[in-house]
Amino acid sequence: MELVFGTTRVVALAGDLTAQAVDVVVNAANVELRHGGGVAAAIARAAGPSLQAASDAWVAEHGPLREGDAAVTDAGALTADLVVHVAGPVYDPERDDNAARLAAAVVAALDATADSGRRTVAFPAISAGIYGYPRDRATRVLVTAVIDWVAAHPGVLDEVRLVGFDDGAAADFGRALTDR
Ligand code: ADP
């Protein structure tokens, strides 16, 4: 599934985020940048030990990553040049700001990608794993935030890739794109 907005493609696909041939891979990180589980562990494994070392150095310098901010590190052995770490919200059904917090993570990642001068970026389904955000809703929030950002920044990025780990996740991203 692919939609084109001006010169920017927004693509939904199934696959391994760590294997994407893009300039920037977005990590669904925790605020400590301890890449112990989920897609963060997969990225850390594929990138090699330099990724956790660079993340530890970032936290030592800046303190814990704040929600709505991004930490940029080298990508080690990944095909990508950079990893942009953002922390999505832990889903809390008692709160009414889950979507706004998730959208803020997307905006932070896209702003950091643009600031780096890179033009292609791949996202996982941030918050939809260990952080418990219902995946069909998380993917809609992610897609809406991406499309709104792309519309506000024409010509800045060539491709935003939304990578579902399996066909179900890719279908959620695809439906969210189609329904927009
Ligand atoms: P969070 O803590 O933000 O919920 P997780 O890493 O637990 O983040 O999960 C985010 C999403 O990433 C989940 O949908 C999970 O299935 C998916 N995921 C895990 N590993 C990979 C991978 N290698 N490539 C793409 N997606 C992945």
Give tens-digit pLDDT for 72-109.
Answer: 999 999 999 999 999 999 999 999 999 999 999 999 99
The structure tokens 């809703």 sit at 137
Terminal-residue alpha carbon distance, the chain: 13
DSSP 8-class letter at 80: S
Tell whether pTM > 0.95.
yes
Supply the angle between the helices 135-152 and 98-115 in degrees, to the nearest 10.
Answer: 40
pLDDT the model gives residue 3: 96
Strands in 159-164's sheet, in edge-to-edge order, are 2-5, 8-14, 159-164, 120-123, 24-28, 82-86, 71-74
Q: Which atom of ligand 1 is nearest to the CA of 46?
A: 23
Radius of gyration of the chain from its Cα atoms, rounded to whole angstroms: 15
DSSP 8-class letter at 156: S
Query: Containing H/E element for 24?
Result: strand 24-28
Q: Which atom of ligand 1 is nearest to the CA of 40?
A: 6
Take atom 1 of ligand 1 and give the residue whose Cα is closest.
127
Beta carbons of 85 and 65 less than 8 angstroms apart: yes
Q: How far is the CA of 128 from the centre of ligand 1 (A)?
A: 7
Q: Looking at this predicted complex, what is its ipTM?
A: 0.98
Of 134 and 180, more confident: 134
Partners of 85 in the beta sheet?
A: 27, 71
pLDDT the model gives residue 180: 85
